[in-house]
Structure 1
């Protein structure tokens, strides 16, 4: 009896391009050809959720990777050149960032290091909670925020950072593109000099080296598969410093996103209705016949209570008493919303930014520890200054809002009374009292805001700029139309007269002519350049330690989805070894090759290369299966279609066995005996491996009962997770999947009972989607139980039936 138990099977409507098991739960993520990301549960392969492509992501998912804690899923999008981080609980996009090249592979690993230095650092690291108030949640009433930050999350930063322990997302793409992102968000290294297109990569858990499989075009233009090992020693040598720097910069990156979204909310709170006064006054100027100025007409109404027929027509017909009241309420509501956002979000976000940047400045001054990582104190000082300027501009906007609210209140109160008198309606006694001070206040407002400006008409198509807040929120490079009047500001006059303070680095520049958007963009640019320097310095420190040319790519594999294809990489955390498993079907179709390299690239590993003759292993198994009665033909050939490490000593393989014996087979190869190989292979670096394959030592192993026939399925690829003891097999046409629980011989009953419990524990609700999907499929296929063979499915595809 086989040791694997099938727990689910499904025919999928769209071909699958990527699949990856969660490191912590019985969940598998799939990406299909439509750009849809799917999450399925192990039990009956039930769908938990799907994330369709949208304007923020794209339609061509090229790689997926789980964060080591299983809470966030990263996927790369080829058509928009972006990497997206998705919350596994709610299928929400948490963060996205652009990359220079389409990503072809990604790997997310966690650093395993338990030194006393790091432990004390982890315990004392995030002191910002003691000094900084919690950031207010972004308001849910605005459309933009819900797309990135959910209103239910009160602390978005910690949600993205997860645990304190450093984890690194490694991205690989075309043209030798390789980048490392701490916590999946902050770029800590851009690598140079990696040849070809990355097919697979694996960063060692001790951070000493990065193993990369690349496809390089050789001199005769044939694609060659090569293995590179890059020395990332600087990261491992400076692990506490890298972790602290990465956490700080990830906080900073997230705060920038928070400020960006807060500003977007402010722009949405600013309504077009605020422009009504300016547009109506401009129309009034264009239509009236008299030569008097608009402010003179309003002043005459203020001082003498008399108005021209044109002004009366403007007020009574275009504005109306009811319209004036509504306009006043709209302006007050809009201004108070913007004011709250500035105080609660922009100012608290800026304070948090200043705090984290000041800590980074302190780190940069500790040159012995942080200078090798490229922290530049001058660049960080510039970033602190830019954030200070942004805070000043936000404060200036608050003053403008405050002044505008007072002005508009007094102006609308007076105009409301004047219009009631024009209509000869009753004026409430509380509105009728107007002191000399009130009259002077309205007169000043009229003379300052109601003067015609010909230059403004050329730029904006209107003569007036009564409303002064909107100019701060416009994402334009032009200067403010009406900058604040600073004539009476004694502090500014004192600064201008003081030769010492004028250029002092202690004072933040204020940019009085610029909008809030302009200063924000400038701040982002300065911080971005400050954040990029360590990535350049660390990237330059990474050197190529090993380069091995393995074999040429057979022409027959041109149409094979490269995301699943061998070689496969594995990082053994216990022995600090990198494993590469691959086949050379053009040279020896029945052999599986295993290359071992230490994570320390300069450590010599004995017996680093060996092969396993799968035909010999399987024929021996078949002959012993039926008490030695069966005899296998001498020309018996068995080939490996896909291989993935199940754990440090077991390899899960999909084998192609001749039909008369088995057909397609899923098997577990115990590598223990093979890894104890004593024959050394003398590698000639001037030749490709496939040109010297005859000298590679061949090892035998005993299969036991660790295999299962895959009946009625043209199986081709497999994804496994040894921690969760699960495997998912995918067919050659990428649409037929089977899911297995492995290692269930001794605990079959126990596993069955605990399956439902584990489903409840993982915190994900299916919300009936899985059942609905099954019903939809049954309806689509006339209610049949869909257990057809691969041949039937292919004939259906020919008839364009899904």
Structure 2
């Protein structure tokens, strides 16, 4: 009986470019040429959800990786140069950040090193919760609210951060672009010195080295594939410090995003209707014939109850009693919303930011530990000062809102009564009482806000600026049109008179002429300097430990998706070894090569290189295969001692089926044979001298009938594999550790269930519809870790384009 049980098969409408198994559950993520991200369950290859491309993210997915805990998917959109973190549970975008180059490959690794210092840090990392209140969730009513902060659950940020144990997302791209991101969010290293385009990479779980497969194209030669091992010893030597710093900076990055979104919500809460009074007054000035000042006309109405015909026309015909009432309600509602956002979100976010930055400052003062990582105490001091200035500006905005609300209430109440009298309507008794203090208050408001400002006209094309809050929320570099009046402020007067306190570094500068947006950008710039410095310093510490030119790429394979092409990398955590598996079809088509390198470049352990001979691979088992020679199309490490390979006959005919097999590597890995290569020549020019071994397959193979299989993705932990055809549209899913004894029965039952499902769709009258299968109709991934027999049924929407049989 053939090995491996087939559990699913699909013909897909769009070619698959990437397929990666979840490290923890029976789920596989697919990305296709249409820019869709799909999540499928092992059982019958059921679709869990799809994430269609959109204008904000882009349409060209260039790489894909799972976080080691299986809760988050990272993918890069090449046309936008964005890396996106997506919640695997609900297909929600959690975080995005830009990159300089499109990312061609990703690797997300858990760091497994333990130490007593790290253990104490893991236990104490949540101490900030004891001192800081939970951040209030942002209102869902605003369009730009992020999923991280818009959920009812307030632990979304911690979910995004994941476990306290360090994990690192490694990105590789064109022009030697290599970057490392702690927790998938904070950049801890920008690596320089790598040549060409990265095709595959693997960071060792002990952080001692980074293996990279590169493709270098020169003008005179074919593209050349090379293997490079980079020494990342600083990361492993300072693992405890890197973990502490990364965790803090990831908190800080997330808080910056929180403040950014809070400010965006405030801008949305500020409505254009608040400008109505300014626009009407400007139009009134431009159209009136008299030379009297606007504030004089309003003061005359206030003191004598008389108004000019033009002012009466403005109030009764343009503004109207009903319009004034609506304007007053809009101003109060808008100001109240902004006020709540400042108090609950900006202030709490700023406090948390100051707390974490102060802890980072403490780290930076421990120069023996943290100076090698690039922590600069002076830069962190500047960042703390910038956050303090932002907090002062937020408090200033609160005072302006509070004063504006009082002014507008008194002004609108008086104007409302005046307009009722003009129209000879009944004035309610409770509004008719106006004390001398009220009159004085309105007079001061008129004299301050209703004076014509020629400078304002030159800058903005209008005369009036009655509404004072909007200027704080405009993202412009110009100074405030109407800065706050600080006359009579005893504290500011005391500071100006004190020579010692005037320029003291202990006091945060307030920038009275600048908007809240301007101060926010200053704060972001100061914090960005702190965040960038370690990435530069750590990146410069990464050096090349080993390099080998492997072979040149043939012309016929240049259009093949590079993700599925060999070489493939594997990180053996137990033995602390990097493995590279590759083929050289032009030099030796029937051989598969395995190179072994220690993850510690400074450790003298036997590194190896050997060839696995695929000639007559099946002859010992299959009598019909005695004269058949095989070559390898794709190979992936199933576990530390097994390779999953897709084989084809070297002289393939249309009737011959390709083979899915498990190659045991135990004898090859224990081989003591050493190969000494000439570094001045490519490896394919020395292939004849490489020692070769012939593995024994036993019964771990299967002919893939009626399928031109070309690529494979595997997960040894879940014991699953997914084969993909050469046209990138046909997939088959296998459970690898069971024999397919009930093959015929399973096919028959699938046919029956398919007919039954088609009959049910016909009876229900559900046809194909636009947008079928989008995220809104998708279920959650609860129970996704179950096997195919026990996984709950997940009904897909009819007419889904992504799983048409």
Shift of residue 559, structure 1, vs aligned partner: 1.2
2:797 matched to which residue of 1? Answer: 772
Structure 1 residue 670 and structure 2 residue 659: aligned? no
- Native 8 Å contact 1:178 1:190 kept in 2: yes
Assess, with a 3 A threshold, how the Cα gap between structure 1 residues 72 and 777 changes in structure 2: closer, same or farther: closer
Question: Is 2:487 the partner of 1:487?
Answer: yes
Scaled by the length of structure 2, what TM-score is found? 0.92
Partner of 1:145: helix, strand, or coil?
A: coil
1:735 alignment counterpart: 729
SS of the residue aligned with 1:246? Answer: helix
Secondary structure at the residue paired with 1:126?
A: helix
Query: Does structure 2 retain, via aligned residues, the 8 Å contact 1:48–1:767?
Result: no
Q: Report the secondary structure of 1:175's partner residue.
A: helix
Task: Give 1:110's aligned residue.
Answer: 110
Counterpart position of 1:712: 706
Q: Which residue of 1 aligns with 2:755?
A: none
Q: 1-side partners of 2:600 and 2:793: how far apart?
A: 49
Any idea what SS the aligned residue of 1:299 has?
Answer: helix
Bigger drift between 396-405 and 312-321 goes to: 312-321
Give the Å deviation of 1:552.
1.1
Partner in structure 2 of residue 797 of structure 1: none
1:393-443 Cα offsets, whole Å, 9 max, x none, are: 000000000000000000011111111111112211111111111111000
The aligned counterpart of 1:694 is 688
Pair 1:642-2:634 in alignment: yes
Describe the superposition over 1:736-768 as per-residue Cα deviations: whole angstroms up to 9, x where unpaired. 11111110249999xx9xxxxx98523899999
- 2:265 maps to 265
C-alpha separation in 2, matches of 1:355 and 1:607: 48
Q: Distance in 2 between matches of 1:276 and 1:164?
A: 52
Distance 2:529 2:795 in 1: 46
Task: Find the counterpart in structure 1 of residue 408 from structure 2.
Answer: 408
2: CA distance between counterparts of 1:65 and 1:495? 55
Q: Residue 723 of structure 1 is aligned with which of 717, 720, 724?
A: 717
8 Å Cα contact 1:386/1:523 also seen in 2: yes
Q: Judging changes above 3 Å, is the alpha-carbon distance between structure 1 residues 450 and 42 closer, same or farther for their aligned structure 2 residues?
A: same
Equivalent pairs counted in the alignment come to 765
Q: Distance in 2 between matches of 1:217 and 1:690?
A: 17
Alignment of 1:411-490 (within 5 A): 411-490=411-490
329-338 vs 309-318, which moves further: 309-318
Task: Provide the rounded CA distance (Å) in 1 between the counterparts of 2:505 and 2:482.
Answer: 28
Shift of 1:150: 3.7
Q: Structure 1 residue 704: deviation in Å?
A: 0.9
> Residue 617 of structure 1: CA displacement?
2.3
- In 1, Cα distance between the equivalents of 2:287 and 2:800? 67
2:784–2:791 Cα contact (<8 Å) kept: no
Q: Which stretch shows the higher mean deviation, 487-496 or 178-187?
A: 487-496
What is the SS of the residue equivalent to 2:180?
A: strand
Whole-angstrom distance in 2 between the partners of 1:747 and 1:534: 57
Q: How does 1:124-143 map to 2 (within 5 A)?
A: 124-143=124-143
The reply on whether 1:680 has 2:674 as its aligned counterpart is yes
Distance 2:336 2:27 in 1: 46
- 1:246-301 Cα offsets, whole Å, 9 max, x none, are 00000000000000000000000000010000001111111111111000001011
Uncovered stretches (5+) of structure 2, i.e. residues with no partner: 747-779
Q: 1:656 aligns with which of 648, 653, 657?
A: 648
Q: Which residue number corresponds to residue 55 of structure 1? A: 55
- Change in CA separation of 1:263 and 1:631 when aligned onto 2, cut-off 3 Å: closer
Cα gap change, 1:502 to 1:437, in 2 (>3 Å): same
2:344 alignment counterpart: 344
Match of 1:255 in 2: 255
In structure 2, the CA distance between the partners of 1:747 and 1:125, relative to structure 1 (3 Å rule), is: farther
Map 1:145-164; keep pairs closer than 5 Å. 145-146=145-146, 149-164=149-164
CA distance in 1, matches of 2:742, 2:471: 69
Partner of 2:774: none
| Other-structure match for 1:187 | 187
Partner Cα distance (1:771, 1:351) in 2: 46
| Distance in 2 (alpha carbons) for counterparts of 1:29 and 1:256 | 30
| CA offsets 1:134-161 (integer angstroms, 9 cap, x no match) | 0000100101115664433323321210
Q: Which residue of 2 aligns with 1:547?
A: 547
Q: Secondary structure at the match of 2:616?
A: helix
User: Where in structure 2 are the equivalents of 1:275-354 lying within 5 Å?
Assistant: 275-354=275-354
Per-residue deviation, 1:620: 2.8
Counterpart in the other structure of 2:749: none
Q: Does 1:173 align with 2:173?
A: yes
Alignment of 1:6-25 (within 5 A): 6-25=6-25
> In 2, distance between residues paired with 1:766 and 1:189?
41
Asked if structure 1 preserves the Cα contact closer than 8 Å seen for 2:295 and 2:451, the reply is yes
Higher relative contact order (CA 8 A, sep 6+): 2
Equivalent position SS for 1:252: helix
Shift in Å, 1:567: 0.1
CA distance in 2, matches of 1:281, 1:451: 11
CA displacement at 1:52 relative to structure 2:
1.1
**8 Å contact from structure 1 (residues 71, 89) kept in 2:** yes
After TM superposition, the structure 1 stretch with the greater mean CA deviation from structure 2, 431-440 or 761-770, is: 761-770
Which shifted more, 606-615 or 764-773?
764-773
After superposition, the C-alpha distances for 1:697-750 in whole angstroms (9 at most, x for unaligned) are 11122101111111111100000000011111111111111111110249999x
Measured after TM superposition, the shift of residue 601 of structure 1 is 1.2
Going from structure 1 to structure 2, the CA distance change for 1:297 and 1:767 (only over 3 Å counts) comes to farther
**Cα distance in structure 1, aligned partners of 2:413 and 2:155:** 43
Cα distance in 2 between the residues matched to 1:39 and 1:206: 30
* Residue pair 1:477, 1:518 contacting (<8 A) in 2 also: yes
Alignment of 1:777-788 (within 5 A): 786=805
Aligned to 1:755: none
**Relative to 1, partners in 2 of residues 1:674 and 1:207: Cα closer, same or farther, differing over 3 Å?**
same
Report which stretch shifted further, 385-394 or 315-324: 315-324
1:210 counterpart = 2:210: yes
- Mean CA deviation greater in 249-258 or 494-503: 494-503
Q: Distance in 2 between matches of 1:775 and 1:503?
A: 66
The residue that corresponds to 1:606 in the other structure is 606
* Cα gap change, 1:775 to 1:232, in 2 (>3 Å): closer
